[in-house]
Structure 1
Amino acid sequence: MKNYYDITIIGGGPVGLFAATYARMHLAQTQVIESLDQSGGQVSALFPAKEIYDIPGFTRLTGQELIDNLTRQAQHYGPEIKLNQTVQEIITTDQGYEVVTNQGSSFTKTIIVATGAGAFQPRKLRLPEAGPLEGTKVFYFVKDQTPFIDQDIAIAGGGDSAVDWALHLAEVAHSVTLIHRRDQFRALESSVAKLEPAGVKLATPYTIRALADHNEKLKLTLKKARSTTSEELVVDKLLVNYGFVSNNNMVRSWGLDTDKRGITVDRTMMTSRPNIFAIGDAASYPGKTPLIATGWGEAPIAINAALNAIYPDRNQALHSTQLIKNFVKD
C-alpha cells in the first residue's frame, strides 16, 4: 500500500517554508521538495546579505537572517524537507498524485506550488568585455559584503534591488555611485529618499557603454540618454542589478494553466488541476502584489483549502493559539 503525504509543497523558499510550518501546525503529513541544495530559494541563492525592509515585525533584516528564522520555525514542527530534487512530472492517481523527481517518486493527496518565479538567472550587462570580469570586478548579486568593504562601487539599475544595495553598501564602501538610464527610479519612494542622505552619488540618466581594466581598477564609459555626452567613472567593482529572467517551462509541463505572471488560481489558490494550489510569486490573480508577505497570507488559504478537501468533516483550527497546543514549546 502506497503511503500518501497529506500535502506536498514544491519549493523551499520563504513562502514554501512558512506553508510547511502552517501545514504541520495542523498535523498534516507534509513534505517540501526543493531543487537547490539548500532551503531559502532565491533569497538564499541570490541575495543572502541584502537587507530586507518589508518583512512585518522587523525594521530590517538580511535575507539569510530571514531564511534562518523561517528554517528554525519549520524545523520545530518537523516537515520532511528534501533538497536537490527537481519535480519532473505530476501524475494523477486514484487518491491524489504521484510526484516524480530526479531522485524517485512519492505520493501525495494535495500539492502546493511555491516555486517563486521559476528557474532564474540575472539579466547581464550586454558588453563583450563584461564576461571575463565576472566574479572579480563585475557582479550580479552579493552573497558576502566583505569584498566591497572600503571599495569604490558602481551599481547599475533603477529598481528596488539596486537602490537597496546602494543603501546597504554605502554603509561599508568608500563610495557608491548608482547608475540608471532614467532620472526616475522604480524603487520604493521611501528608499529613494534615503539615497542622498546616505551619500550615494547618482549618475542619471546614463547607461554603461564600455568597460576596461584601469590600473587594477575598472573604468566605465557612461553615455547620457538622448545626448552625445559621455563620462568616465573609475571604480573597484561594478554590481549590475537589472533584474532576473525566469523560466517556468517545467511548471507548464505539469499541466497547469498560466498567464504572463504565473500560475492562474482561484480565491482558494487552487490551480486548473484539482487539489493543486499555487502561492507566492508562482501564483497569479487580478490585483496580485508580488511580496513575500503576500505569499505568507496566501499559504494559510491554500493549506486550509487542501485540508478541507482531504478531511471535509474536520473543523480546521485557524489561529496559532489553537494550533500550538499540539506541540511542545521550546
Structure 2
Amino acid sequence: MTTHKVDLLIVGAGPVGLYGVYYAGVRGMKVAVIDSLSEVGGQVSALYPEKLIFDIAGYPRVKGRELVTALAAQAASADPVYLLGQEAQEVQEIEGEGPPRFSVQTSSGDVVECGGIVVTAGIGTFTPRKLPAGEEFLGRGLEYFVPDPTPYQDTDVVIVGGGDSALDWALMLEPLAASVTVVHRRKVFRAHQATVAQVEASRVRMIVDAEVSELRGDSTLQKAHITVKGTDGAEIVDCQNVVAALGFMANIGPLREWGMELHDNRHIVVDSAMRTARRGIFAAGDITEYDGKVRLIAVGFGEVATAVNNAFVLMNPDEQLFPGHSTDEQPAPEPALAQPAG
C-alpha cells in the first residue's frame, strides 16, 4: 500500500479533470488524479479518439485524441500524481481542527490523503445499451463504439442510433466506407441540428422509424434485416459492420456512498461554487446537476476552474478566490529601442 499526501484529489482524468489538474497547479497545489481507465482522456479517449470535436473554444475542429494530448501537456505543468486503472472507493474524514482533510482508498489499495476533492468523473462507469438483435456477432462485426476507423475501410456499415455519437461516427466513416446506413427508431434525431443537416447532405443513407430486427452471417457479420414501422417484412442490406450507438447506462459506483446529494441517482447536485452537500468535496463536468446545467466539455472547463479555486480558498481561508489572470505571470515585453533618425 502506498500513501500519497497531496493538497487536492481529482477523481476523473477526462478533459475536465485534466484542466482541473492544470488549474490546481496555477494555485500552487500538489494534486493527485484517480481514474478507473488505464489512460487519461476519459470517454474521449475510450469512445471517440478519432472523432472531430467542433465546440471547443479556440479549436475550429480537433480530434478527440489531439485534444486530450494538449490537455495532458498543459496538466503536466502541475506535476500531478496519476493513479490510473484504479477506482476511488472509500472516503473518510481525518479528524482535526480547521479545514477538512480526507483519506481516500483506491481499488488497488493505495491511499490518498488530501485537503479537498473535486469529482470530474463524467458519467462514472459506463455500460453500452445492448442491441437486442445479433449480440452473438459482438466482436465479429458488431461493436458499440469506434475507437479506430481503419477496420471500416471499404466495408458496408450500418449505424444504429439517433444521437450525436451515431451521426458523428456516420460522418467520420462516410469517406472511408463503401456505404454507411443510419437506422433510427424515431423520425426525429436527438443529435445537433447542424450535424443532422451534414449527414443529410452526405451520401449516408438514413432510415427512420425503423430498427435492426436481425443480424445474419457465418463466422462474421454479412447481412442486417431492417424493419420499418407500419410495413410488412424487412429490408435486407449487406453489411460487414454494425455500430450500435444506443447510449450508455451510467453507474457512479462507490461515489454514491460519499454523502453527496444525488439527482436521478447518477448526477451530483452542486451549488454555484461547485460545492456538493459534503463540505470539502466539489464536482464539475458531466456528473454535476444544477438548474440550467448544459453538459458540454466547454462548460466543464469553467466549472472545474470554479471548483478548484473554491477548494483552494477552503483549504487556505486567508487567500483570495480570484487567482489572477494567467497573463499576469508573463514577463512584460521589453520596450523597443528607439531607432536613430536618418
Same topology, TM > 0.5? yes
Amino acid at match of 1:212: R
The offset of 1:215, in angstroms, is 9.7
1:201 aligns with 2:202: no
1:222 aligns with 2:221: no
The superposition leaves residues 26-60 of structure 1 with CA deviations (integer Å, 9 ceiling, x where unpaired) of: 11111111122111111111221222222111122
1:117 aligns with 2:117: no
3-state SS, counterpart of residue 20 of structure 2: helix
1:45 aligns with 2:46: yes
Residue number in structure 1 paired with 2:140: 136
The superposition leaves residues 53-77 of structure 1 with CA deviations (integer Å, 9 ceiling, x where unpaired) of: 2211112222111111111111133
Verify the 8 A CA contact 1:25 1:323 in the aligned structure 2.
Answer: no
The offset of 1:195, in angstroms, is 1.1
Verify the 8 A CA contact 2:13 2:40 in the aligned structure 1.
Answer: yes
TM-score, scaled to structure 1? 0.93
Change (3 A) 1:302 1:222: same
Q: d(CA) in 2 for partners of 1:323 and 1:31?
A: 24
1:269 aligns with 2:274: yes
Structure 1's unaligned 5+ residue stretches are: 326-330
1:282 aligns with 2:287: yes
Structure 2's unaligned 5+ residue stretches are: 332-342
TM-score, scaled to structure 2? 0.90
The offset of 1:292, in angstroms, is 0.8
Residue number in structure 1 paired with 2:304: 299
Verify the 8 A CA contact 1:4 1:107 in the aligned structure 2.
Answer: yes
Q: d(CA) in 2 for partners of 1:29 and 1:323?
A: 19
The superposition leaves residues 198-253 of structure 1 with CA deviations (integer Å, 9 ceiling, x where unpaired) of: 21111112101111117965211111124435211111211110011111232111
After TM superposition, the structure 1 stretch with the greater mean CA deviation from structure 2, 207-216 or 74-83, is 207-216
Verify the 8 A CA contact 1:26 1:323 in the aligned structure 2.
Answer: no
Residue number in structure 2 paired with 1:150: 154
Verify the 8 A CA contact 1:264 1:285 in the aligned structure 2.
Answer: yes
Verify the 8 A CA contact 1:14 1:41 in the aligned structure 2.
Answer: yes
Change (3 A) 1:113 1:215: closer
Q: d(CA) in 2 for partners of 1:229 and 1:90?
A: 56
Residue number in structure 1 paired with 2:73: 72
Residue number in structure 1 paired with 2:326: 320
Q: d(CA) in 2 for partners of 1:151 and 1:53?
A: 27
Amino acid at match of 1:167: L
Residue number in structure 2 paired with 1:171: 175
Verify the 8 A CA contact 1:12 1:40 in the aligned structure 2.
Answer: yes
What percentage of aligned pairs have identical amino acids?
A: 38
Amino acid at match of 1:196: E
Residue number in structure 2 paired with 1:244: 248
Q: d(CA) in 1 for partners of 2:219 and 2:286?
A: 44
* Larger Rg over CA atoms: 2
3-state SS, counterpart of residue 280 of structure 1: coil
Map 1:26-41 → 2, pairs under 5 A: 26-41=27-42
3-state SS, counterpart of residue 313 of structure 1: coil
Map 1:73-112 → 2, pairs under 5 A: 73-93=74-94, 94=96, 95-102=100-107, 103-112=109-118
Amino acid at match of 1:287: G
Residue number in structure 2 paired with 1:60: 61
Residue number in structure 1 paired with 2:338: none
The Cα RMSD (Å) is: 1.8
Residue number in structure 1 paired with 2:192: 188
Amino acid at match of 1:299: V
**Aligned residue pairs, count:** 322
Residue number in structure 2 paired with 1:328: none
